[in-house]
Amino acid sequence: MTNLKVITGLILLLLLISAWFYFSAEEPVAVRLVSVSKGPVDLTVSNTRAGTIKACNRSHLSLPTGGQIAELFVNEGDHVKKDQVLIRLWNKDHQARFEEAIARVEAAKLTVIESCRMASLNKREHKRLTGLAAKKLVSVERLDAAETKETISAASCKKAQASKDSAIAGMKLQQAMIEKTELIAPFSGVIAEINGEVGEYITPSPSGVATPPAIDLIGEGCLYVQAPVDEVDASSIQPGMLVHVTLDAFRGERFEGKVSRIAPYVKELEKQARTVDIDVNLVDKEHYQKMLIGYSADVDVVIEQQKNTLRLPTETIIDGNKVLVYQASNKQLVLTEFTPGLSNWRYTEIKAGLTDTEQVLISLDVEGAVDGALVTIDDD
């Protein structure tokens, strides 16, 4: 009977011990891992605020004089050629003055022909009489009269020439007045906006008062990105540097560009926000066809680059130089130090401390995923 009690007690003790181990055993934590790999790592400078897609040629065109719109030759969205007339104001008065000026020029030309022909004849006559006077065949009085006549006719010729030049200048002035009533395309492009209709009056902007342009003309075939960077980073940027461009309108796509210009001054929008604008030209001109003026854009200027180096996602790093490495032998996480190199928001270069055979924790926000934790791999 005693032996039975002892055996029963031992069995109960074993059951209690087994239950304690079962309930106190550590539950593995489900985590996500990422492999250390090789690839490019860039040290970049990014814009502080969104950049903008701009046209290389864009002009807000206005007429230098006021008047009534008589003819509007284009519509919004039209493609126009350089030197094409876009708007013409009522200018019949200038046209009449121009025609009158042309008539004056023609009359002045005839006067020049007549006066200068007479001057030429009088010159030859004076020369002929001078030869005869040397032989005592004509009187001195006749020779003096011929000389006077030559002088007067030469002056008349010069006066006629001056009158013709004045008439031509007057004609050019009237032509310029007509040209002031015409709005001409300074380059080929697309009409983005028109402010005005036939019959409406256009008034030039008073000094210091901005008014909408008559026509907004955008050049075709050339776009660039303008973006602000922090004044501290501007000194490390040089023209020709590679730039990665991303646009909200084309999520998941990245376009390559080159720094073409760095502004020679700092913008002070706020006391704590001083920036320098940079211009970036896209390398592949075919991308122009899919982009619109005014799209927002972000730029990452590549200051330094490692093209094929050991790297890991920057989001896996703890305290700047540590990661939780997964050990397959005991399914535990081990806090491991490494030597970082170039780094950006996406990847960090590994100079020493890790190999491309290791996996590191990427789900740092998982509760219980700490040094020494027992884990299982979550493949989702």
pLDDT tens-digit readout, 116-162: 999 889 888 888 888 887 887 878 888 788 888 888 988 989 999 99
Q: pLDDT value at position 24?
A: 45
Q: Which phi and psi angles does 75 have, rounded to 5°?
A: -125, 160
pLDDT at 185 over 50: yes
The model's pLDDT over 80-94, given as tens digits with 9 standing for 90+, comes to 999 999 999 999 999
Q: What confidence category does residue 210 fall into, taking pLDDT thresholds of 50, 70 and 90?
A: low
Ramachandran class of 152: left when φ > 0, alpha when ψ lies in -120 to 50, beta otherwise: alpha
Q: Spell out the residues 6+ positions from residue 98 whose beta carbon is closer than 8 angstroms to its own.
A: 171, 174, 175, 177, 178
DSSP state of 237: -
Q: What percentage of the chain reaches a pLDDT higher than 70?
A: 91
Q: pLDDT value at position 208?
A: 61
Q: pLDDT value at position 41?
A: 92
pLDDT at 5 over 80: no
Q: What confidence category does residue 241 fall into, taking pLDDT thresholds of 50, 70 and 90?
A: very high
Q: Spell out the residues 6+ positions from residue 188 whose beta carbon is closer than 8 angstroms to its own.
A: 79, 80, 81, 82, 219, 220
pLDDT at 58 over 80: yes
Q: What confidence category does residue 51 fall into, taking pLDDT thresholds of 50, 70 and 90?
A: very high
Q: pLDDT value at position 92?
A: 93
pTM of the model: 0.66
- Beta-bridged to residue 324, according to DSSP, are 335
Give the residue from 291, 267, 268, 288 showing the smallest Cα distance to 278. 267
Q: What gap in Å lies between CA 110 and CA 104, rounded to an integer?
A: 10
